[in-house]
Structure 1
Amino acid sequence: MSEEQQPSNSNPDQPRPTWFSSWFDTPYYHILYKERNYREAQLFMDNITHYLNLPEKAKVLDLACGKGRHSIYLNQLGFDVLGADLSENSILEASKNSNDSLHFKVHDMRESFEEKYDAIFNLFTSFGYFEKDEDNLTTLKAIKESLSEYGFAVIDFMNVNQVVNTLVPEEVKIVDGIEFHLKRYVSDGHIYKDIDFEDNGQKYHYTEKVKALTLQDFQSMMDEAGIYLLDIFGDYKLKKFHKTESERLIMIFK
């Protein structure tokens, strides 16, 4: 949401929209990130579903699924998939791909599901967005409660140490004729990305904010949530996690 378009909050009891509910619901979010490597993402899902040895037609939850590209691929692998996301616009788009074994719904990841799942995937740093730290713990508990007795969960997060060490402070990306000016910085335990651009004579400003959670942070929350951390990987080929060099922090738990 642009600064010029921020709504006046006439009802003081009504909560202000979060940065992620505003930004993820715009078309510009999808424009900026349209060149993400989805083939690499599919390779990751091939590897992780093979590693988990999921049964045929296993019930899989893609938590924070966006427009459902990965839910669709998981469904093509033979799984019964639900894609869930807070963004109504994304779910509306994703739902065009629904079939008997692929469904989508608007859902807040802090809330558990009545149905139990054989696997829950939270992919590509879709965690740590909340203003309150306790909401991250609440989300982990909700994931645990939504797993079947023998189910596994996977959180694929950035490796904070590697990201901070290789942070590009300023960058300009031109996508679909739009010049995105990006600024990245670390402050108060979060990694920020300021996004400024202009389209059709209108200036826009958004800020992404993700909690800089380390493996130790996750382990502490998982201990508190009664979660058992089974394995840790450092990239999409499932190589061993290295604290400073790995690109990803991929955690398997139940």
Structure 2
Amino acid sequence: MAKSMTKWYASWFNTPYYHILYKDRDYSEAQRFMDNLVNYLNVPDGGSILDLACGKGRHSIYLNQLGYKVTGIDLSEQSIAHAKQFENNTLSFEVHDMTQAYPETFDAVFNLFTSFGYFEDERSNLETIIAIKQELNSHGFGVIDFMNVNYVTKHLISADIKTVDGINFHQKRRVEDGYIIKDIAFTVNNERYEFQERVKALTLNDFNALFDEAGVHLLDIFGDYQLNRFHPEDSERLIMIFK
């Protein structure tokens, strides 16, 4: 029996299998990225950061260790329940929909590692940027770290099998109807599971249109976690700084 839910991100991210599949992500690279980012933005010592779509809180925890007051929000109740064990007086986690403005303002709002473009209703992408604008204080900066769609589509691997903790994850990828889609199927204890990841294939032009409509200003663009210049065809990332 295949397991599936309507909102893929609300179901897939809430399973332990999501975290198993991606357990080998390079978090040291992610931490160096955050080091580079807070230095570039000159976030004040003890400043406040909102981590949108924080998952289990690994990056929020690291930012807090750097000395920042961090709030992590995510739609996944299970991820937030896990993250709450790490809370302290300058680190908190909450279940919250990032399309709705959080009722505080911050020195920086981070949306990291392609945690954007999931929504079936494209209006939600605009609502998220509007919410980020409302969450920034007068000197704050918003950051969206997204995939570079041109690079991803050019290097897309149509199918592979990734084995983690004895589970064979069968992955199929395609571009369809303006989305980059990955179908994931696997069997655990003789039960078959099927999930799908769908991310809107947003280009820099698409983001510029969203920023214009939201009334925010794009200040800088980088193409990787070392904050090198963005190249439309060759950069792996599309990292946008705005306010």
Classify the TM-score, shorter chain. Answer: over 0.9
The alignment partner of 1:47 has SS state of: helix
Residues in 1 aligned to 2:191 and 2:50: alpha-carbon distance in whole angstroms: 38
The CA deviation string for residues 116-159 of structure 1, in whole angstroms up to 9 with x for no partner, is 01100000000000001111001100010111011001100000
The CA deviation string for residues 80-110 of structure 1, in whole angstroms up to 9 with x for no partner, is 0000000000000001100010000000000
The CA deviation string for residues 187-226 of structure 1, in whole angstroms up to 9 with x for no partner, is 0000000000000110000000000000000000000100
Residues in 2 aligned to 1:205 and 1:117: alpha-carbon distance in whole angstroms: 38
Residues in 2 aligned to 1:17 and 1:111: alpha-carbon distance in whole angstroms: 20
- For 2:26, give the aligned amino acid: N
The alignment partner of 2:232 has SS state of: coil
2:13 aligned to 24, 43, 48, which one? Answer: 24
Residues in 2 aligned to 1:133 and 1:4: alpha-carbon distance in whole angstroms: 27
The CA deviation string for residues 160-211 of structure 1, in whole angstroms up to 9 with x for no partner, is 0000000000010000000000000000000000000000110000000000
Task: Kindly report structure 1 stretches of 4+ aligned residues shifted beyond 6 Å.
Answer: none
- For 1:127, give the aligned amino acid: F
Residue 118 of structure 2 is aligned to residue 120 of structure 1: no
Query: Any gaps of 5 or more consecutive residues in structure 2?
Result: none
The alignment partner of 2:113 has SS state of: coil
Q: How does 1:63-78 map to 2 (within 5 A)?
A: 63-78=52-67
The alignment partner of 2:67 has SS state of: coil
The alignment partner of 1:4 has SS state of: coil
Residues in 2 aligned to 1:191 and 1:250: alpha-carbon distance in whole angstroms: 18
Residue 189 of structure 2 is aligned to residue 206 of structure 1: no
1:41 is aligned to: 30
The alignment partner of 1:28 has SS state of: helix
1:132 is aligned to: 121
Q: Is the 8 A contact 2:183 2:197 kept in 1?
A: yes
Amino-acid identity (%): 60
TM-score by length of 2: 0.99
1:250 is aligned to: 239
Q: Is the 8 A contact 2:223 2:235 kept in 1?
A: yes
Residues in 2 aligned to 1:145 and 1:5: alpha-carbon distance in whole angstroms: 37
Q: How does 1:1-254 map to 2 (within 5 A)?
A: 4-5=2-3, 17-254=6-243
Residues in 2 aligned to 1:28 and 1:101: alpha-carbon distance in whole angstroms: 30
Residues in 2 aligned to 1:20 and 1:215: alpha-carbon distance in whole angstroms: 23
**1:17, CA displacement in angstroms?**
4.0
- For 2:2, give the aligned amino acid: E
Query: Any gaps of 5 or more consecutive residues in structure 1?
Result: 7-15
Q: What is the aligned residue count? A: 243
Residues in 1 aligned to 2:117 and 2:87: alpha-carbon distance in whole angstroms: 28
Residues in 1 aligned to 2:2 and 2:222: alpha-carbon distance in whole angstroms: 43
Residues in 2 aligned to 1:96 and 1:200: alpha-carbon distance in whole angstroms: 30
TM-score by length of 1: 0.94
Residues in 2 aligned to 1:109 and 1:17: alpha-carbon distance in whole angstroms: 18
